[in-house]
Structure 1
Amino acid sequence: MPHPPVLIAGAGPSGLVLALILLKNGVPVRIIDKERTHRIGSRGAGLHPRTLELYAMLGVLDDILNNAGKIVPTASYDFGELVPKSTMLLLKYHEATPDVPHANTAALNQDRHEEILRAHLAKLSCTVELGAELRSFEQSADSVVARIVKTAEDGTQSEETATFDWLVGTDGAHSVVRKQLGLSFLGETRTETIFALGDIKVEEGLDPNFWHMWNVGPKMILMRPHGVTSTMFNFMLKGRSEHLMNKTLTSDEFAEEFYSLTDRRDVKFGEAAWMSNYRPNIRMVDKMHQGRVFVAGDAAHCHSPAGGQGLNSSVQDSGNLGWKLALVHKGLTPTDLLDTYNEERLRVIAHMLGLTTALLDRNDRGVGEPGKKEFKMHQHGDAMRMLSVNYRGSSIISQAAGAAGAESDPYAEAAGAPVQAAYRAPDAPELVPAGTQGAATRLFEVFSVSAHTVLVFGGDTDARAPVVDALARFPPGIVHAVLLLGQEHAPPSDAPRFGAVFEDRAGHAYRGYGADADALTVVVVRPDGVVGVVASNAEAVEQYFRRILIAV
């Protein structure tokens, strides 16, 4: 029996999301993980709006949100005090809008997050193969030969050699894939800063409706509840006693460190689910793929947890790589397209490392009292929601003349038109199938991880005809052409030539995209939710796809 074409080594969020994207593109995968059981623990619990948007396209968002909670206020205490001196939201609250329906960060423990993603994989007849460790690989011009050591439940091991078309390492900061590729992993390890992390039961004394923080520089402790109905809290402790500095704490040792820092012996602890030590590593690779082998997530970059960018950036690595790898594997595009994974993601990651390191440095200097200037660094700016992350300067994105290239800020908001190439495609609700009284949908339910969505606004049938003719020449399944009509517009004669026709019943799409019913506007949305081109004619659309496809 032949092996699937893609081997994914590592079953954290980045590996699971990549597997889902490839499977939805019709590309079989094998996903392995060296651990013999699924990991437990909350770890990276913040899912930012940009990740939620990708999950909407991937079809997993409802299950994520049904299990997630919101970010609750943080209560800050003085030593020994039962009543907090202040409470505040570390993340600014944003009202949802038609174009940004998922405006705030959701809180979901990573073990539950991964469990949900695995359940969606199972619906596609794919399961994570536990106890299977990639030990080495060799690649040639047309394949990758992987050596995999499998550990059975009784501890016995066996070795397998298998051949794949592609290998993706999502195998963490100690990545075997990265090391064997010989990629640089330059940066620094903050040996002077060591955190104790873990999940521990709080039997009484802490309200799960709040995060709880004590900051007496250089010591700090943050207790984050798993949920308002849970007795489990995630903790981050900095500045423990010298004799405990380099060991993993026990539950009792953590409790004593907590009491020493807070003088809150009214808080009663149970057992810890897990504990570990953490030193901030701030590193990234010089490239994210070589030949037929790729790295993503922590295998490609690691950084301070400040700002909660790590897990989210890892998932977005997979969003960028997945559709490109699928097109190349199917022979629909040159392998050169895979170079844009490096081109687009490296500059985003480099900037992200700068942002999160700056937050870490400010924290190391002490936060002061809430409300004072030095405390405000804990209120992460809008950039941390990642909605403005962009690929300006990308060689495959059609941009306006004079648009900044690699030197531009990949976290900066777009200035000018509401929708621009290289930025996220906004949502728009209340789209009704034209000529019907059918149920309304929204753009995030129309976009797909397995096709480019071509949104056609305005114009008449003559103006639209060259665009539709051009799209008809593309290989089947590459594009999903969507005609968006203005309010109270009946289906036109060319409606059957589109994959879907919607009436913008409330006008959100036309307003959000800056379109006019009297003028043709075409917006091509990539399978990762990024705008590829905003055009007013077929030539510009074809020019974009010539950068993507072998022949159009």
Structure 2
Amino acid sequence: MANPSVLISGAGPSGLILALVLLQNGVSVRIIDKETKHRGGSRGSGIQARTLELYDILGVLPDIFKAGDYISPLAMYQPGKLEPDKISSLAEHLEPTPDTPHPNGWNLSQDIHEEILRAHLQTYSCSVELGSELRSFEQFPDHVVAHIVKTDAEGNQSEERTRFDWLVGTDGAHSVVRKHLGLSFLGESRKEEYLCLGDIAVEEGIDPSFWHIWHVPPRLLALRSQGPKSNVFMFGYTGMSEKWLNRNMTREEFIEEFYDCTGRRDVKFGPATWLSTYRPNMRMVDNMRVGRVFVAGDAAHCHSPTGGQGLNSSVQDVANLGWKLALVHKGLASPSLLDTYSEERLRVIAQMLKLTTDLFNKNFGSLKDREIEEGAWERGGDLRMLGVNYCGSSIVQEEDEVKEKVDNAYSKSASTSVQAAYRAPDASALVRSGGDATPTTFFTLFSTAVHTILIFGADEATRAQILEVLAGFPKETVRAVQVLPQGQSSQGQTADILVLEDREGHAYKGYGLPADQPTIVVVRPDGVVGTVVPAVEGVKRYFQKIFLEVRYGA
């Protein structure tokens, strides 16, 4: 049996999502992790709106929703008081709309999150290989040789050297892949500011439907439940003695610190399942690819935990990389397409680090000298990540006036119509013309394995031109969808174009497009708009940036 094409080192959310994207593209993977058992603990538990959209496209969202809940409101206390002084929300709760059906963040313990993703991988006969550590690798023009050390349940070790076409390091902040590539890791470490973190059961005295916070300068302590019905809480504690700087706090030490800080000896604790000491690092690489080797997630960027951006940025890294790697691996795109992974993501990550560092400074900076800034715990807005964009990318077909104006990688477009380089909106109540009347959505139709050409307001001439262009694309890489305006219907489907009726007008309204003139929107496999053009020639120009020229035809 041939070796899998891609080795993924590290089985956190970014590694698991990358494996899923590649498998959906028909690319074989091997995903390894040096741990001998799956990690427990809440860790990164906030899932932002944009990640929920990607999960909708990937097909994992129903299980994510089933296992988690909305992010709890904050309850702020004075020491010794049983009732909070203030209750507030991290972010305003937004009502879903047809173009943005998942606008609010979601709370899900990372260990459960990963368990769900592993279950989806198993539907592709893929599982995480535990106790397998990447020690080093050698890179050649057409392959990578990985040195892997395997440890079994009894502690016995064996070594292997295996050839792969590609290697991706999703192996965390201490990444072996990043270090072996010699990539810089620019930024700062906050040695004087550190947090004790962990998960602990609360048997009595704390309501799991709130995120509880005590600020007793210089100390700050927070308890957040895994869900409104769970008695397992993640805690964060900072401003304490330096005796825990180089070691983890024990369960008993945390309990005593909790009683001393809060004055709440009525609270009864159960077992602690995970304990750690965290020192904030704000760092990022200056390149995410060297030849056939890539870094993603925490291997490429570290950040403060404030804002819930880290896990989400990691997932978006691999959503960006996965479809590009699949096309290049299949020989359908030039290897230069892989350079746009760094080009597009580094701009976003730099903005993310600025946002999360500013939040950290507001939440935790100089706690001993002052009160926490007013509004420091407010989230929402840009942190929902719905405005994350790739403006200026060399493979996005933008209008010049848009390209020149946008420099904020987290900023939503000011336009009322769909724009290249931004997320593709959803639309509901779409019905297949002349067929089953069961409604569908754009997110259901989008796929990590194909580009989707959405045809709005098109006449028969435009439709015929699209059919002609489709014949020249590599097989099974592009699909076309004609969207008929509200009140308009067709006799049925064709073999090459899916025809949908916009029964309630959500698609045209959400995309801000007229019904009486043709507009073509190309949506990339990562749910980003590649181009918005009035004619087929613009579609050709876009795909000339994606596919090898010899594969492209008119």
| TM-score normalised by length of structure 1 | 0.97
Q: Does 2:148 correspond to 1:148?
A: yes
1:392 touches 1:406 (CA, 8 Å); kept in 2?
no
How far off is 1:463 after superposition?
Answer: 2.8
Deviation by residue 1:211-268 (Cα, 9 ceiling, x = unmatched):
1000123210010011111111000000223444433111111011011111111111
How far off is 1:498 after superposition?
Answer: 3.5
User: Given residue 217 of structure 2, which amino acid in structure 1 is its aligned partner?
Assistant: G
Partner of 1:400: 399
Q: Does 2:241 correspond to 1:241?
A: yes
Partner of 1:532: 530
**Cα distance in structure 1, aligned partners of 2:402 and 2:417:** 15
Partner of 1:315: 315
Comparing 282-291 with 512-521, which one deviates more in the overlay?
512-521
* 2:375 partner SS: helix
**Cα distance in structure 2, aligned partners of 1:406 and 1:353:** 22
User: Given residue 535 of structure 1, which amino acid in structure 2 is its aligned partner?
Assistant: V
**Cα distance in structure 2, aligned partners of 1:467 and 1:499:** 9
**Distance change in 2, residues 1:367/1:429 (3 Å):** farther
* 1:200 partner SS: strand
Alignment of 1:334-413 (within 5 A): 334-365=334-365, 374-404=373-403, 408-413=407-412
Alignment of 1:41-440 (within 5 A): 41-365=41-365, 374-404=373-403, 408-440=407-439
Partner of 1:516: 514
Partner of 1:482: 481
**Cα distance in structure 1, aligned partners of 2:250 and 2:182:** 38
User: Given residue 75 of structure 2, which amino acid in structure 1 is its aligned partner?
Assistant: A
**Cα distance in structure 2, aligned partners of 1:160 and 1:516:** 59
* 1:271 partner SS: strand
Comparing 429-438 with 96-105, which one deviates more in the overlay?
429-438
- Give the superposed CA RMSD: 1.5
2:423 touches 2:528 (CA, 8 Å); kept in 1?
yes
**Distance change in 2, residues 1:242/1:18 (3 Å):** closer
Comparing 181-190 with 495-504, which one deviates more in the overlay?
495-504
**Cα distance in structure 1, aligned partners of 2:301 and 2:62:** 29
1:215 touches 1:221 (CA, 8 Å); kept in 2?
yes
**Cα distance in structure 1, aligned partners of 2:367 and 2:429:** 44
1:467 touches 1:537 (CA, 8 Å); kept in 2?
no
Alignment of 1:449-468 (within 5 A): 449-468=448-467
1:217 touches 1:366 (CA, 8 Å); kept in 2?
no
How far off is 1:492 after superposition?
Answer: 5.5
| TM-score normalised by length of structure 2 | 0.97
**Cα distance in structure 2, aligned partners of 1:404 and 1:533:** 12
1:422 touches 1:531 (CA, 8 Å); kept in 2?
yes
How far off is 1:490 after superposition?
Answer: 2.4
Task: Report how many residues are paired.
Answer: 548
**Cα distance in structure 2, aligned partners of 1:244 and 1:401:** 54
Comparing 384-393 with 62-71, which one deviates more in the overlay?
62-71
2:143 touches 2:164 (CA, 8 Å); kept in 1?
yes
User: Given residue 307 of structure 2, which amino acid in structure 1 is its aligned partner?
Assistant: G
How far off is 1:482 after superposition?
Answer: 0.5
1:461 touches 1:492 (CA, 8 Å); kept in 2?
no
**Cα distance in structure 2, aligned partners of 1:6 and 1:34:** 17
How far off is 1:488 after superposition?
Answer: 2.9
Deviation by residue 1:29-76 (Cα, 9 ceiling, x = unmatched):
000000000000000000001001111111111111111111111110
Comparing 434-443 with 341-350, which one deviates more in the overlay?
434-443
How far off is 1:378 after superposition?
Answer: 1.0
User: Given residue 541 of structure 1, which amino acid in structure 2 is its aligned partner?
Assistant: V
**Cα distance in structure 1, aligned partners of 2:462 and 2:453:** 15
2:309 touches 2:352 (CA, 8 Å); kept in 1?
yes
How far off is 1:407 after superposition?
Answer: 7.2
**Cα distance in structure 2, aligned partners of 1:248 and 1:543:** 56
How far off is 1:406 after superposition?
Answer: 10
2:75 touches 2:211 (CA, 8 Å); kept in 1?
yes
1:218 touches 1:364 (CA, 8 Å); kept in 2?
no
How far off is 1:497 after superposition?
Answer: 4.9
* 1:488 partner SS: coil
* 2:32 partner SS: strand
How far off is 1:473 after superposition?
Answer: 1.2
Comparing 495-504 with 34-43, which one deviates more in the overlay?
495-504
2:244 touches 2:277 (CA, 8 Å); kept in 1?
no
Comparing 312-321 with 241-250, which one deviates more in the overlay?
241-250
* 2:352 partner SS: helix
Comparing 332-341 with 463-472, which one deviates more in the overlay?
463-472
1:367 touches 1:374 (CA, 8 Å); kept in 2?
no
Deviation by residue 1:485-519 (Cα, 9 ceiling, x = unmatched):
112322168x4154411111110001111222221
How far off is 1:462 after superposition?
Answer: 1.5
* 2:246 partner SS: coil
How far off is 1:476 after superposition?
Answer: 1.0
How far off is 1:380 after superposition?
Answer: 1.4
Partner of 1:504: 502
User: Given residue 419 of structure 1, which amino acid in structure 2 is its aligned partner?
Assistant: V
2:49 touches 2:103 (CA, 8 Å); kept in 1?
yes
Deviation by residue 1:100-137 (Cα, 9 ceiling, x = unmatched):
00010000000000000000000001010000000000
2:219 touches 2:367 (CA, 8 Å); kept in 1?
no
**Cα distance in structure 1, aligned partners of 2:380 and 2:13:** 24
Partner of 2:541: 543
User: Given residue 230 of structure 1, which amino acid in structure 2 is its aligned partner?
Assistant: S
**Distance change in 2, residues 1:406/1:189 (3 Å):** farther
How far off is 1:174 after superposition?
Answer: 0.5
* 2:224 partner SS: strand
Comparing 215-224 with 391-400, which one deviates more in the overlay?
215-224
* 2:325 partner SS: helix
